[in-house]
A and B are shown apart, each in its own frame.
Chain A
Amino acid sequence: MDEFDLQVRYHIYDSCMERGQPPLIDELSAILNVSKEQIGDALANLAEARILVLQKDSGEILIANPFSAVPTSFLVETQKFSCYGNCIWDSLGLAAMLHQDVRIRTSCADCGRALELEIIQKTVQAHEALIHFAIPARHWWDDIVFT
């Protein structure tokens, strides 16, 4: 990654932190006053460095961990905005990255019953739910979207 890639990374995460979702290529192009192609190249570099995951056809950002650019089964509500985590771990990670109390609305992956977690003052409020990691750690990035 070069300095320009780091500038792009800054604006991606600034958008995430301020409004809960990554920016589009058009938005980054306007913010940095460069071509869409230059943004596309930077996104590719960031994806290569495993900072991002891109949408296959459009090249737009799909994932800027822990944020998802598209709706998922993990809705995370903060005082400022609602956003989506990529999985339950990332949803907890949103509370950590945003330094805010959050409510996570999701469901049991087996039976579908609604589950709601709250992280208040850096503590998960008592809940009996469990997290299952299906993919061994060394294989997480074999297919990160599935993981």
Chain B
Amino acid sequence: MLLFRSEEHIKNWCRQWKFEPGAILNLDTAWRLAHAWYVEDRREHSWRRKTLEEIEALFAELGLVSTFWNLR
């Protein structure tokens, strides 16, 4: 996941590296996703990775509902 100055720069990058355009997030949404993903203390004995269902619920909560975000 890379950072770009603008959509124009994302288009340039996709053209250069022959990638289909993926998903674009603004920083606010990306922060909410990163916060939910990483806020827990992984030193805790009880910590475990999120389940598929938990990740799907998180994506839905953030409006990440296009086929790009499908996990199955």
Contact = CB atoms under 8 A, between A and B. Distances in A.
Interface of A: 6, 9-10, 13-14, 17, 49-51, 65-66, 87-90, 92-97, 106-111, 113, 115, 117, 119, 122-124, 127-138, 147
Nearest to B67: A136
A133 B68 contact: yes
Contacts of A65: 38
A29 B27 CA distance: 40
B24 A110 contact: no
A124 B27 contact: yes
A92 B22 contact: no
B6 A130 contact: yes
B5 A138 contact: no
25 contacts: A13-B41, A14-B43, A51-B42, A88-B2, A89-B33, A90-B34, A92-B34, A92-B35, A110-B13, A111-B5, A122-B35, A123-B31, A127-B27, A130-B25, A131-B1, A131-B24, A132-B10, A132-B21, A133-B22, A133-B23, A133-B25, A134-B19, A137-B68, A138-B70, A138-B72
Nearest to A74: B3
A110 B9 contact: yes
A96 B39 contact: yes
A96 B33 CA distance: 10
Nearest to B15: A110
Nearest to B71: A138
A9 B40 CA distance: 14
Contacts of B21: 132
A134 B7 CA distance: 13
Contacts of A123: 31
A94 B67 CA distance: 28
A103 to B, nearest CB: 14
A137 B5 contact: no
| Shortest 3 CB-CB contacts between residues of A and residues of B | A93-B38, A92-B34, A109-B2
B27 A87 contact: no
B28 interface: yes
Contacts of A127: 27
